[in-house]
Amino acid sequence: MVFTKVDQDLVYGIKLSSVGPGRVTGSDVVHDLSGMDIAMKLHYVKGLYFFSSQAAKGLTLPRFKEAVFECCCDFYYTSGRLRRSESGRPYIKCNDCGARFIEAHCDMTIDECLEMKGFYFDLQKLLVSQQVIGPELTFSPPVLIQFTQFKCGGISLGLSWAHLLGDAFSAANFMNRWGQIMAAVGSNNTPANLQYKSNTHDHERSKNPPPVHDEPLSLKWVDPVGDHWIVSNNCRMDTFSFHITASQLATLHSEISAGRNRNDQVPIFETICAIIWKCIAKVKLGEETAQARTVTICKSDPRKPTKGFVTNTQTISSVTLDSSVTETDPKRLVTLLVNEAVDERIRMEEVVERDDGVSDFIVYGANLTFVDLEEADLYGFELNGYKPDLVYCTVNGVGDEGAVFVLPAGPEGSGQTNGGGGRMVTIIFKENLVPELKTELAKKGLGQGGGHDLT
């Protein structure tokens, strides 16, 4: 089936309710937001999980909801609502209000949906809530979950997770905990014993000393948005995704490591980043400023706590090239990305704390942002022992410079044709430059093949 424009009625029968912690959190419990959390407040992590009818067999909606009630007991801070202190600094009052739960139906099968042109941009918007925080801060849920049932018996779970609660890694943790509880429903499972741990002062200094200029490059001020936390872009942004199979990765590897010592491990993420960076730089030719030569890298922090609340712990570093990107060798780009990334989190926190978290910032899209989600356990959510067919993860509210997300492809047998060792890449970029970018990527052999059209 080919649609030119997604019909709004494709997803129908919308019913809204709230799911919150099943047990009382307590009165006057407050979750303070760190500087990093506040820096991320205009961004929203979106996750979309597809499960086949086999995986969803025998699992009713009430069972899913019951499991979320249990899950929210562990993640009680996600069920709270935002308040502002006297100074204007936002914090979360853990009043058990709950996440919004949306039930919907779709008359297509999952396969039909995924094969639709315009899926990644349009249809996924119908399967994941696009609601933002505001204009009423105190009544906006930071977490929204959409449960859609398809004609084939499969289901999709769409998670909208305000970035101030945590990064994509913590959103994946939440979903995986949900999956664990679903598997254990009916048996006595002890709660995960998650306690809030302050994560503001746990950063260790990165191995590179901070450069001379004060302001972090990854953080950009935006005009005050008041209580309506939405990013306004100067131009329309478009989203598209493609898969990179394991064999394509191998080809890219050989290009990069030609002439190098065979024993050197060339990291996959940086390889992909370097190639895409070059393509983007070619497309943006004529805009070669210092800022255009800076990128932001977001990766999982290996030193993050494994127990306790994992909120915004990903490392955010910036890399600035001193020469033109198009003229730089990909090998050199990879080396730079690996070795010269400067962790900017501490300086970002300082800037945010300067006026006690009142100002509004963006991080994704302040510069071209590359986000490494390979370590996110996106396929850890199992139903009846089956992994999801596809997990799609992105961030909404990306600024004008765009962002690139590198996701793990599904493991073997997850239903994806390139499962096992491949990657899925999502690019958010200025709409008018997207066709050119696709052409550039095609020249590198990217964007074709895989199971789905390049749309």
Rule CB under 8 A: which residues touch another protein?
A: 15-20, 22-24, 27, 62, 65-66, 69-70, 81, 95-98, 139
Closer of 93 and 203 to another protein (Cβ): 93
Contact 169, 375 (CB under 8 A): yes
Closer of 103 and 111 to another protein (Cβ): 103
Contact 300, 372 (CB under 8 A): yes
Which tokens in the block code for residue 74? 């562990």
Closer of 21 and 447 to another protein (Cβ): 21
Query: Strand pairing of 99-106 and 11-19?
Result: antiparallel
In the complex, minimum distance from the CB of residue 384 to another protein, in angstroms, rounded to a whole number: 21
Contacts of 267 (CB under 8 A, 6+ apart): 334, 338
In the complex, minimum distance from the CB of residue 20 to another protein, in angstroms, rounded to a whole number: 6
Closer of 105 and 282 to another protein (Cβ): 105
Contact 104, 146 (CB under 8 A): yes
Contact 342, 317 (CB under 8 A): yes
In the complex, minimum distance from the CB of residue 100 to another protein, in angstroms, rounded to a whole number: 9
In the complex, minimum distance from the CB of residue 191 to another protein, in angstroms, rounded to a whole number: 13
Closer of 16 and 246 to another protein (Cβ): 16
One DSSP character per residue, 317-328 reads EEEE-SS-STTS
Contact 333, 278 (CB under 8 A): yes
In the complex, minimum distance from the CB of residue 422 to another protein, in angstroms, rounded to a whole number: 39
Closer of 81 and 243 to another protein (Cβ): 81
In the complex, minimum distance from the CB of residue 62 to another protein, in angstroms, rounded to a whole number: 7
Give the single-character DSSP code of 89: -
In the complex, minimum distance from the CB of residue 96 to another protein, in angstroms, rounded to a whole number: 4
Edge-to-edge strand ranges of the sheet holding 342-343: 237-244, 423-430, 403-408, 368-372, 294-299, 315-320, 342-343
In the complex, minimum distance from the CB of residue 12 to another protein, in angstroms, rounded to a whole number: 15
Neighbours of 433 (CB within 10 A): 16
Closer of 20 and 447 to another protein (Cβ): 20
Interior angle at CA 431, CA 429 and CA 434, nearest 5: 70
Residue 436, classified by CB atoms within 10 Å of its CB into exposed (0-12), middle (13-18) or buried (19+), is middle
d(CA 386, CA 388): 7
Closer of 97 and 336 to another protein (Cβ): 97
